[in-house]
Amino acid sequence: MPVKLVKNEDANSLLLERIMYTKRYTLFLDRSRCVGCELCELACPKEAIKIAKPSELKHLEEPPKRITASILEDKCNFCGICSEICIFGAFKQSINGKDFVPVLESESFPKVIHEVKVDESKCPPGCRICEEACPLHLINVKFSPEGKVIKVDVDKEHCPGCRICEIKCPYDAIHTRKIITGVISINTSLCPEGCRDCVDACPIPGVLFIADNGKVGINELFCVYCGACRKACPVNGAIDLRRVSIYHERVKSGAWNKALEKLTSTLDMSKELRSKSGLKAYDSVKRLHVRRL
């Protein structure tokens, strides 16, 4: 029986299905959450994802207005790596209607940790500063009838970890950790006159801005190092972005090493390998102690 591959896409979503007699694999891309960064494209082991400019999606009735991910259906093998590496949570992988990421199940890919901790006891009544600060509207503060903060709901799955909420909170009640660390710089001498493509592409407001001198400025404090700016930049080499580490659960997987190498660099990947072997040595020494006792 021919394997049915069905791709339905419009400006706001893409649904790829592999329909078989006994199983149905689904990969859903929420284009409203996709910022057109380069993480999934780099991490996909089958090169099944392409970050496409609106001009490359002309076949759609109503092409998206911004750069967004596109999936090549004949290459995708529904491993789920994209759904894990996307820090904005734009992908959703499921099998037979249930959310299921095969690579997480087998620990072939680590869980990328989205860490946001809130100590509601520190929140003053009626305060909504974090909710208002979140650029992606992922925070929802719940109050008791008396106006006391009882719960700060954070949609962690979709939080890229920009830390704006933490910096903006005057009461030290919210703590986050960056998922990706790195460095970014822009060689403004290469910028075309009047270009602000990177500024428009950046998903976190205020990270990139047009400074008083008319050049692009960077506020690296909130940068999530997603690389959307680099994808949008019309000049090759104007934006220098280097990721150093990705905050994740420990796994031992060649697929992760390869993805990490592409996302960061060979050097940074080997650093992680070294730290892992260090941890391994530590583990075995600890086991030895237990046995001695």
What is the DSSP code string of the chain? -PPEEEEEE-SSEEEEEEE-SS-EEEEEEETTT----SHHHHH-TT--EEEE-GGGGTTSSS--SS-EEEE-TTT-----HHHHH-TT--EEEEETTEE--HHHHTTSSPPBP-EEEE-GGGPPTT--HHHHH-TT--EEEEE-TTS-EEEEEE-GGG-----HHHHH-TTS-EEEE-SEEEEEEE-GGGPPTT--HHHHH-SSBTTEEE-TTSSEEE-GGG-----HHHHH-SSTTSEEEEEEEE-B-----HHHHHHHHHHS-HHHHHHHHHHHHHHHHHHHHHHHHHHH-
C-alpha dihedral over 227, 230, 236, 237, to 10 degrees?
A: -60
Q: Is there binding between residue 13 and another protein (CB under 8 A)?
A: no
Q: Is there binding between residue 8 and another protein (CB under 8 A)?
A: no
Q: Is there binding between residue 284 and another protein (CB under 8 A)?
A: no
Nearer to another protein, 30 or 261 (CB): 261
User: Shortest Cβ distance from residue 27 to another protein (Å)?
Assistant: 14
Q: Is there binding between residue 2 and another protein (CB under 8 A)?
A: yes
Q: Is there binding between residue 88 and another protein (CB under 8 A)?
A: no
User: Shortest Cβ distance from residue 111 to another protein (Å)?
Assistant: 14
Out of 36, 45, 161, 203, name the contact with another protein by CB under 8 A: 45
CA dist 75 and 4 (Å) reads 14
User: Shortest Cβ distance from residue 78 to another protein (Å)?
Assistant: 8
Q: Is there binding between residue 16 and another protein (CB under 8 A)?
A: no
Nearer to another protein, 99 or 105 (CB): 105
Out of 68, 70, 83, 108, name the contact with another protein by CB under 8 A: 108
Nearer to another protein, 96 or 185 (CB): 96
Residue type, 101: V
Residue type, 159: C
**Contact stretch for another protein (CB under 8 A) within 49-57, 72-80, 220-228, 281-289:** 72-80
Binding mask 227-266 for another protein (x = CB under 8 A): -------------------------xxxxx-x--------
Q: Is there binding between residue 280 and another protein (CB under 8 A)?
A: no
User: Shortest Cβ distance from residue 79 to another protein (Å)?
Assistant: 5
Q: Is there binding between residue 106 and another protein (CB under 8 A)?
A: yes
Q: Is there binding between residue 91 and another protein (CB under 8 A)?
A: no
Contact set with another protein (CB under 8 A): 1-3, 18, 20-23, 45-46, 77-81, 102-103, 105-109, 252-256, 258
